């Protein structure tokens, strides 16, 4: 039995983004966002390219996918046929993460019994829901419904498939909070560990590129057309700090997810300022200096509210959203991964975000010597 | 893990097919009222099963005071209305300091599926560039909790946990943990879902939909009836509740979570039993302390035998009464364990066992000694009630409610927690 302390560490991370696979690819993209370029990064829609090509026709702006992504590069082909792209991305990220953790001498096989998942998402796989509904409407009933794909429309499908593939029997959870979903996942996962419901949590977020999310995002006009509509998945291994574990990539200093009931520019700013205040107080108490800020709303109508809440910080800022594209439920996870990729050992990284639902988030990671 | 802060339930709110508001809902449960009726929310004429537990004539504007219903989807309407009713039931006036830390954690299976359905029809009718931005804005599932916090002017953590049909129990557990850990004194938690075409069809494609009314635990049971509604609890730190003289329905003693990690749609009895044991340990109770089990009880042949097998593994021959309120409501999916939580609180408060309706013959495969509370609600002292929620993906979540007593709360760490 692990002695659960208040302090939690991120012991490893996996990331698939439009920049490619891994923290190094993400770091390169963040340092030179121009390489995001005007062209889509890689195959825009993966295995569904032919079927989807017509449905992107006329779409304003650009889309980008995880380059050359094939789930069979990560897991055996058997059992992957009916998985949707959201699940495939999440499964790939979890496979990379589990593989890394399993190589550690202090990670026992039994530990997977108490390992859980907290996966952030906006709405699950919107493509799966729309496609199923199209089949029903066109089939005038259920004749065209494939029962094997119905579970894909439930928002917890990705997390559940990860548990099944990797035999993770701890709390299996999915958190929906728009673009700050991954911060909710981090907060939730940390709470589960601290309250004794899990020994380890894999926390993060996922978003698939689909014509439905792309068109929906463009039609809302909340995101500047210069921002690529992207996708990706990132997962972090969150564990109690123990003496026998290897040095952490980072420790979790603060994670605050709050709400702005007055969903105006001023209301969002006030709520985010409140979250930042709390995160900053935790950082100061822990002796962590913020030397890097990763905002989450660049290129959106919420940008001014976030700037107002961050005006006190005169430190380097890196725009994650523009670098990896508008990626919904994965955005917060990309910010967390970016903190690990860019943060200097011994310093603090502040990540913030606002979702137009009213949710706001501020988190601080203290970067470890191993990063 | 030991703890000093205790969580009690001081407000109950719901919108359901058998009644809106906790008193009407409870009266419906006690009377064995059925909320199952022919589907009206979509054209079901081409479907072999055409019944659902819909909330007929639901007008959110009659309940909510702040949100504009036109800005939100039907599932958010259910959540916000149930939350408003719960706060009114609690008789709580939230001051500025309390609102700063009070939020809403709401579970769901399908989120705003009716809005997705609308979007799909627009896509088919006019192509992608004709989608309504207003409909697109309603679709993110986080809106369901957001509607609650806008309605109640809350600044605290607001999030949706879409862990399918166990989701409300996940939400209740997490909200309780926030209070126990001192992050909040008051939280809103529960679940909401809406009947919709593609979920109905999806369950039907699995062969999981009943050929008539739901008959949980009956040997002739044939499946679920999809249903909808919202169920929200006001959770409050005990001292906070006592200082304001609140009515306390019950204490949330604890909860347990587990994942089968086995199959996306087939439940696993051993894993469910493990979840029950985790819930007991977290609550500081023994199996023998449980007086009543509010079953997941969907009425599918597989679920019910698996659930009874699991409870047998934990309770043995000393099996407490177990019943399914889905026999009356239908399967409200992400709201289901929220309704179960309300039923448990009222069972404790008013000393009764909710019935399993529509029973003809209890499935003999369950074995001897299983009391599924057929024949109507029954008077009984309920000190500890166990509330089940199981879901696609093998996501199990169980909450334990108890009559408020003077004993110390006890929480326990999860087994197998070593690294």
Please write down the HEC assignment for all residues of chain A: CCCCCCCEEEEEEEEEECCEECHHHHHHHHHCHHHHCCCCCCCCCHHHHHHHHHHHCCCCCCECCCCCCCHHHCCCCCCCCCCCHHHHHHHHHHHHHHHHHHCCCCCCHHHHHHEEEEEEECCCCHHHHHHHHHHHHHHCCCCCCCCCCHHHHCCCHHHHHHHHHHCCCCCEEEEECHHHHHHHHHHHHHHHHHCCCCCEEEEEEEECCCHHHHHHHHHHCCECCCCCECCEEEEEEEEECCCCCCCCCEEEEEEEEEECCCCCHHHHHHHHHHHHHHHHHHHHHCCCCEEEEECCCCCECCHHHHHHHCCCCCCEECCHHHHHCECHHHHHHHHHHHHHHHCCCCCEEEEEEECCCCEEEEEEEEECCCC
> Between B150, B265, B419, which is nearest A200 by CB?
B419
Contact at CB, A216 and B136, closer than 8 angstroms: yes
Domain-located, residue B171: yes
User: How confident is the model at residue A3, as a pLDDT?
Assistant: 40
Matching residue, tokens 């500025």: B96
CB atoms within 10 A of CB B313: 15
Helices and strands in chain B: count of H runs, count of E runs: 13, 15
Three-state secondary-structure class, residue B105: strand
In whole angstroms, how large is the CA radius of gyration of chain B?
A: 20
pLDDT for the residue B416: 40
Hey, are the CB atoms on B257 and A216 less than 8 Å from each other? no
Nearest CB to A271 within list B140, B155, B261: B155
How distant, in Å, are the alpha carbons of A197, A363, B161 from that of B103? 21, 18, 13
Same domain, B123 and B193: yes
pLDDT mean over B253-263: 95
- For A101, A241, B32, B41, B191, the CA distances from A247, given in Å and listed in that order, are 13, 9, 59, 56, 40
Residue B219, classed as helix, strand or coil, is coil
Q: Determine which one of B296, B344, B345, B388 is catalytic.
A: B296
- Closest partner CB to B149 (pick from A176, A221, A259): A259
pLDDT value at residue A95: 98
Domain identity same for B206 and B305: no
pLDDT tier at B409, thresholds 50, 70, 90? low
Task: Answer yes or no: is B34 within a domain.
Answer: yes
Residue B1 has pLDDT above 80, yes or no: no
Give residue B412's pLDDT: 43
Residue B39 placed within a domain: yes
Last residue of a domain, one of B224, B243, B262: B243
Contact residues on chain A for B121, CB-CB shorter than 8 A = 137
| Residue B65 located in a structural domain | yes
Dihedral in degrees, nearest 10, Cα atoms B214, B217, B222, B228: 30
The answer on B197 and B312 residing in a single domain is no
Same domain, B233 and B258: no
> Of all helices (H) and strands (E), which one includes residue B69?
none
Beta bridge partners of A204: A119, A235
Q: Do B198 and A163 touch (CB under 8 A)?
A: no
Phi and psi at B149, nearest 5°, equal -75, -30
> Which of B202, B217, B243 is where one domain is finished?
B243
Comparing A117-131, B179-193, B356-370, B400-414, the range with the smallest average pLDDT is B400-414
For residue B260, which residues of chain A lie inside 8 Å, CB to CB? 163, 169
Angle (CA) A238 A241 A242, round 5°: 125
Residue appearing with tokens 């950082």: A283
pLDDT tens-digit profile of B16-52?
999 999 999 999 999 999 999 999 999 999 899 999 9
**CA distances to A64, A108, A132, B292, B403 from B381, in Å:** 61, 45, 47, 9, 10
Q: How many CB atoms lie within 10 A of CB B143?
A: 32
Q: Are B105 and B50 part of one and the same domain?
A: yes
Do both B274 and B190 map to the same domain? no
Q: Find the catalytic residue in B77, B200, B240, B331.
A: B331
Instruction: Indicate if B296 belongs to the active site.
Output: yes
Tell me which DSSP letter residue B361 carries: S
| Residue B186, SS3 per DSSP | strand
pTM (2 decimals)? 0.96
Alpha-carbon distance of B18 to B37, in angstroms, equals 11
Measure the CA–CA gap between A66 and A20, rounded to whole angstroms.
Answer: 6
Q: Can you give the pLDDT at residue A53?
A: 72
Give contacts of A133 with chain B, Cβ < 8 Å.
116-117, 120, 197-198
Q: Report how many Cβ contacts below 8 Å link chain A to chain B.
A: 309
Distance CA A132, CA A128 (A): 6
- Closest partner CB to A191 (pick from B133, B181, B258): B181
CA angle B175, B181, B184 (to 5 degrees): 55
Helical residues (DSSP H) of B11-112, grouped into ranges? 22-31, 74-90, 96-101
Residue B256 with chain A: CB contacts under 8 Å: 197
Candidates A151, A163, A195; nearest CB to B259: A163
Contacts of A159 in chain B (CB under 8 A): 163, 393
For B149, the enclosing helix (H) or strand (E) is: helix B143-152
Quick one: B189 and B266 in the same domain?
Answer: no
Beta strands B322-323; B292-294: pairing state: parallel
> Same domain for B239 and B258?
no
Contact A175/B160, CB-based, under 8 Å? yes
Contact across the interface for B116 and A133, Cβ inside 8 Å: yes
Whether B417 shows a pLDDT value over 70: the answer reads no
Residue-level pLDDT at A45:
47
Average pLDDT of B309-329?
Answer: 98
Answer whether residue B286 is part of any domain.
yes
Active site residue B263: no
How far is it, in rounded angstroms, from Cα A356 to Cα B143? 9
For residue A289 the two structure tokens come to: 């200096």
Same domain, B233 and B278: no
State which residues of chain A have pLDDT below 70. Answer: 1-5, 33-51, 371
The β-bridge relationship of strands B104-107 and B186-193 is parallel
CA A73 – CA B8 distance, rounded (Å): 49
Counting Cα atoms < 13 Å in the Cβ hemisphere of B220 gives 7
For position B230, which CATH number holds? 3.40.47.10
CB contact under 8 A, B161 and A174: yes
Q: What are phi and psi of A338, to 5 degrees?
A: -65, -35
Chain A residues with CB under 8 Å of B46 CB are: 140-141
pLDDT surpassing 70 at residue B398? yes
Six token digits for residue A44:
């825009």
Residues B300 and B192 in one domain: no
Question: Is B411 domain-assigned?
Answer: no
**A132 vs B207: CB contact, 8 Å cut-off?**
no
Distances (CA, A) of B286 to B258, B315, B322, B343: 18, 10, 17, 21
Does pLDDT of B413 surpass 50?
no
Domain endpoint, select from B188, B218, B243: B243
For the segment B147-176, the average pLDDT, to the nearest whole number, is 98
Q: Which of A1, A215, A257 sits opposite B157 (nearest CB)?
A: A257
Mean pLDDT of chain B: 95
The verdict on B136 and B226 lying in the same domain is: yes
Test mutation, B75, B114, B162, chain A, max A CBs within 10 A: B162
Of B14, B165, B275, B344, which one is the catalytic site residue?
B165
Q: Distance (Å, rounded) from C-alpha B83 to C-alpha B149? A: 9
> How many angstroms separate the CA of residue A355 from the nearest CA in chain B?
9
Predicted pLDDT at A55: 86
Give the one of B113, B133, B261 whose C-beta lies nearest to A168's C-beta.
B261
Q: Are B384 and B280 in contact (CB under 8 A)?
A: no
Residue B388 appears among annotated catalytic residues: no
The per-residue pLDDT for range B333-349, each reduced to its tens digit, is: 999 999 999 999 999 99
Cβ(B342)–Cβ(B385) under 8 Å? no
Give me A341's structure tokens. Answer: 């990729």
A299 φψ region: left (φ > 0), alpha (ψ -120 to 50), beta (else): left
Q: What is the pLDDT of residue A173?
A: 97
Residue range B44-97, pLDDT digits in tens: 998 999 999 999 999 999 999 999 999 999 999 999 999 999 999 999 999 999
Residue B419 has pLDDT above 60, yes or no: no
Residue B413 lies inside a defined structural domain of this protein: no
| Phi, psi at A283, each rounded to 5° | -65, -45
Inter-chain touch B117–A169, beta carbons under 8 Å: no
Torsion on CA atoms B23, B25, B31, B35, rounded to nearest 10: 160
Q: How far apart are CA A335 and CA B308, in angstroms?
A: 45
Distance CA B52, CA B113 (A): 15
CB contact under 8 A, B155 and A274: yes
What's residue A244's pLDDT?
A: 78
Give A358 to chain B, closest Cα distance, Å.
7
Domain range enclosing B185: 7-243
- Residue of chain A nearest B117, judged by CA positions: A133
Residues B101 and B236 in one domain: yes
Task: Tell me the nearest-neighbour CA distance from B89 into chain A, angstroms.
Answer: 22
- Are A60 and A218 in contact by the 8 Å Cβ rule? The answer is yes
- For residue B242, give both structure tokens: 């006592």
**How far is Cα of residue A298 from the mean position of the Cα atoms in its chain?**
17
Q: Which of A145, A155, A161 to mutate to test the interface with B (most CBs of B within 10 A)?
A: A155
Is residue B211 within 8 A of residue B222, CB to CB? The reply is yes
Rounded to a whole number, what is the distance in Å from the CA of A36 to chain B's nearest CA? 26
Q: Answer yes or no: is B412 within a domain.
A: no
DSSP conformation class of B321: P
A163-167, B202-206, B306-310: the lowest-pLDDT one: B202-206
Please report the pLDDT score of residue B408 as a whole number: 61
- Total domains present in chain B: 2
pLDDT of residue A246: 81
Euclidean distance between CA atoms A328 and A213, whole angstroms: 9
Residues of A in contact with B261 (CB under 8 A): 163-164, 166-169, 172
Going by their DSSP bridges, the two strands A250-259 and A20-21 should be labelled as: unpaired
């Amino acid at each position: 039995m692990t002695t659960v302390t208040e302090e939690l560490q991120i012991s490893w991370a996996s990331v698939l983004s439009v920049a490619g696979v891994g923290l190094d690819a993400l770091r390169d993209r963040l340092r030179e966002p121009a390489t995001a370029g005007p062209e889509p990064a890689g195959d825009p829609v993966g295995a569904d390219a032919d079927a989807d090509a017509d449905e992107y026709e006329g779409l304003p702006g650009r889309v980008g996918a995880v380059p050359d992504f094939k789930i069979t590069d990560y897991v055996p082909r058997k059992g992957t046929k009916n998985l949707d792209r959201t699940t495939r991305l999440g499964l790939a990220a979890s496979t990379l993460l589990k593989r890394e953790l399993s190589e550690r001498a202090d990670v026992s096989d039994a530990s997977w019994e108490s390992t859980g998942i907290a996966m952030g998402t906006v709405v699950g796989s919107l493509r799966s829901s729309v496609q199923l509904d199209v089949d029903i409407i066109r089939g005038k009933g259920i004749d065209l419904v494939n029962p094997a794909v119905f579970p894909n429309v439930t928002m917890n499908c990705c997390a559940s498939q990860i548990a099944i593939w990797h035999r993770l029997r701890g709390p299996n959870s999915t958190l929906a909070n728009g673009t700050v979903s991954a911060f909710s996942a981090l907060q939730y996962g940390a709470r589960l560990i601290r309250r004794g419901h899990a020994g380890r949590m894999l926390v993060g977020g996922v978003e698939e590129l689909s014509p439905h999310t792309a068109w929906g995002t463009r039609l809302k006009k909340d995101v500047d057309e210069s921002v690529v509509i992207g996708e990706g998945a990132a997962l972090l291994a969150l564990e109690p700090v123990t003496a026998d574990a290897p040095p952490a990539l980072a420790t979790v200093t603060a994670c605050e997810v709050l709400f702005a009931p007055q969903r105006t520019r001023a209301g969002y700013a006030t709520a985010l300022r409140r979250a930042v205040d709390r995160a900053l107080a935790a950082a100061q108490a822990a002796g962590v200096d913020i030397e890097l800020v990763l905002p989450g709303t660049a290129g959106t109508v919420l940008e001014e509210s976030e700037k107002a809440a961050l005006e006190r910080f005169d430190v380097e800022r890196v725009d994650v959203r523009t670098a990896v594209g508008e990626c919904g439920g994965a955005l917060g996870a990309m910010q967390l991964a970016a903190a690990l990729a860019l943060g200097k050992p011994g310093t603090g990284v502040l990540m913030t975000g606002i979702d137009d639902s009213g949710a706001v988030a501020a988190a601080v990671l203290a970067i470890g010597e191993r990063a | 893990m030991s703890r000093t802060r205790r969580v009690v339930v001081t407000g109950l709110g719901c919108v359901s097919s058998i009644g809106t508001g906790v008193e009407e809902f409870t009266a419906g449960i006690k009377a064995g009222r059925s909320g199952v009726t022919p589907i009206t929310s979509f054209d079901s004429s081409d479907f072999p099963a055409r019944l659902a537990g819909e909330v007929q004539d639901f007008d959110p504007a009659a309940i909510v005071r702040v949100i504009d219903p036109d800005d939100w989807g039907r599932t958010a309407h259910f959540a916000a209305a149930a939350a408003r009713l719960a706060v009114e039931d609690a008789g709580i006036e939230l001051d500025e300091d309390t609102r700063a830390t009070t939020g809403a954690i709401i579970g769901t299976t399908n989120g705003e599926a009716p809005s997705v359905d609308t979007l799909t029809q627009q896509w088919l009718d006019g192509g992608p560039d004709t989608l309504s931005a207003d409909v697109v804005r309603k679709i993110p599932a986080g809106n369901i909790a957001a509607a609650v916090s806008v309605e109640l002017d809350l600044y605290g953590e607001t999030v949706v946990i879409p862990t399918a049909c166990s989701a409300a129990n996940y939400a209740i557990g997490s909200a309780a943990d926030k209070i126990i850990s001192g992050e909040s004194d008051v939280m809103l938690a529960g679940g909401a879902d809406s009947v919709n075409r593609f979920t109905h069809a999806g369950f039907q494609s699995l062969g999981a939909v009943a050929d008539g009314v739901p008959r949980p635990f009956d040997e002739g049971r044939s499946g679920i009836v999809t249903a909808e509604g919202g169920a929200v609890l006001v959770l409050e730190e005990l001292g906070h509740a006592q200082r304001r003289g609140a009515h306390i329905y019950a204490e949330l003693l604890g909860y347990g979570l587990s994942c089968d990690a086995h199959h996306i749609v087939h439940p696993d009895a051993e894993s469910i039993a493990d979840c029950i044991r985790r819930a007991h340990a977290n609550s500081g109770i023994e199996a023998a302390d449980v007086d009543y089990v509010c079953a997941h009880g969907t009425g599918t042949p597989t679920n019910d035998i698996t659930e009874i097998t699991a409870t047998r593994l934990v309770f043995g021959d000393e099996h407490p009464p177990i019943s399914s309120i889905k026999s009356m409501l239908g399967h409200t999916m992400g709201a289901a364990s929220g309704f179960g939580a309300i039923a448990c609180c009222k069972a404790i408060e008013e000393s009764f066992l909710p019935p399993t309706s529509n029973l003809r013959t209890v499935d003999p495969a369950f074995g001897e000694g299983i009391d599924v509370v057929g024949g109507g609600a029954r008077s009984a002292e309920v000190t500890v009630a166990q509330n089940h929620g199981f879901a696609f993906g093998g996501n199990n979540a169980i909450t334990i409610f108890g009559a408020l007593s003077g004993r110390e709360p006890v929480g326990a760490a999860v087994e197998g927690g070593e690294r």
